[in-house]
Structure formats: C-alpha cells, structure tokens
Amino acid sequence: MKIELIVNGVRKTLDVEPNELLINVLREKLGLTGTKYGCGIGECGACTVMVDSEPVLSCLTLAIEVNGKQITTIEGIAKDGQLDPVQEAFIEEGAIQCGYCTPGFIITAKTLLRENPNPTREEIIEYIKGNLCRCTGYVNIVKAIQKAAEKIRKEKL
Ligand code: FES
Ligand code: FES
C-alpha cells in the first residue's frame, strides 16, 4: 500500500505492507534509527515518537494507521543545529547513561511540556510512567524535565 507521512517536516511517500509497524518503517525504510526497539510489546516506551502532537508507541502502531500524519522522531527535535532545551537539560542533569531509553523519554517529555509547561514533580513521574530506564534510577530524568520546563518558560518570557 502507498502511504504518505510527514516525517520531521519532510513529506515521504512509502510503499508499506498492511501489517508493517511504524517503528520498522522509521528505522528500516527511512534510516531513522534514533527510535529504539526495546520490548516490542508496549511496555518500555523506547519506541515513542510523536504523531501530530501525541506520544505514540511505534512498536504497536501500524504505518497505515498514521497515513497522512506528522511524525516527529528524535532526529527532528534539534533545530538548525541547536539542541532542544529538553535535550540540553538531559545532558546537563546527567539523565543519560547507556542512552537506549533517552529518545523515548525526550519525546515523552516534549509532549508533556507542550500540554503542561509547569508540571509538578508528581505530574512528571505520572506522565513518564510508560517509559522505562534500566540505568539512571529516574531521579536525574525527573530533574532534567523540571530543568527543561524552566528553560522553555524563560525562553517564552
Ligand atoms: S519497544 Fe515499544 S514499548 Fe517497548
Ligand atoms: S539510560 Fe540506559 S536504559 Fe535509560
């Protein structure tokens, strides 16, 4: 089947199988390997991408389901060579160890901060509960999201 996706702002026309998963299209057909394959069953959040402005698990989403939509992957987050405030905050707070979970966390954090620019610690913990990290213990990830929120609020002043 032919589908059309707008991936990181670029329109792509693709031939896909009816049962082809979005994660495989992104990674294998488009070479966007920043989106990670973890569990493959919707448990870990490593495969999270933004569809329009919602976080979506690309391991549970058929490519044909998102025909015509805007897809944002981690490769589309930095702009003009400048890291996004969420990416900067993850680096500054040491919220990355092996980095496997990081693209999923950053996409999830972006959607949280779009919906709620000033989340409490508890709201952050609740929102990221679908993303698993085996390395960091989450403390620095939560701090990074709080710091990113501050940065974005300051940018808007
Ligand atoms: S790979 Fe999709 S949720 Fe784990
Ligand atoms: S940094 Fe290794 S899984 Fe999160």
Residues 55 and 107 in one domain: no
Residues 108 and 134 in one domain: yes
**85 Cα: distance to centroid of ligand 1 (angstroms):** 25
Q: Is the pLDDT of residue 156 over 90?
A: no
Among 76, 97, 115, residue at a domain's last position? 76
Q: Model pTM greater than 0.85?
A: yes
What gap in Å lies between CA 88 and CA 155, rounded to an integer?
14
Q: Check pocket membership of 66 for ligand 2, CB cut-off 6 A.
A: no
Residues 71 and 99 in one domain: no
**87 Cα: distance to centroid of ligand 2 (angstroms):** 15
Q: Check pocket membership of 101 for ligand 2, CB cut-off 6 A.
A: yes
Overall domain count for the chain: 2
Q: Which of 131, 136, 140 to mutate to test the pocket of ligand 2 (most atoms within 8 A of CB)?
A: 136
Strands lying side by side in the sheet with 54-57: 10-15, 2-7, 70-72, 48-51, 54-57
In this prediction, residue 157 carries a pLDDT of 78
Q: Check pocket membership of 100 for ligand 2, CB cut-off 6 A.
A: yes
Among 49, 76, 103, residue at a domain's last position? 76
pLDDT digits (tens, 9 = 90+) for 52-90: 999 999 999 999 999 999 999 999 999 999 999 999 999
Structural domain boundaries enclosing 124: 85-156
Q: What's the chain's Rg over C-alpha atoms?
A: 15
Residues 111 and 147 in one domain: yes
Among 54, 76, 98, residue at a domain's last position? 76
Residues 90 and 115 in one domain: yes
Q: What is the CATH number of the domain that holds 67?
A: 3.10.20.30
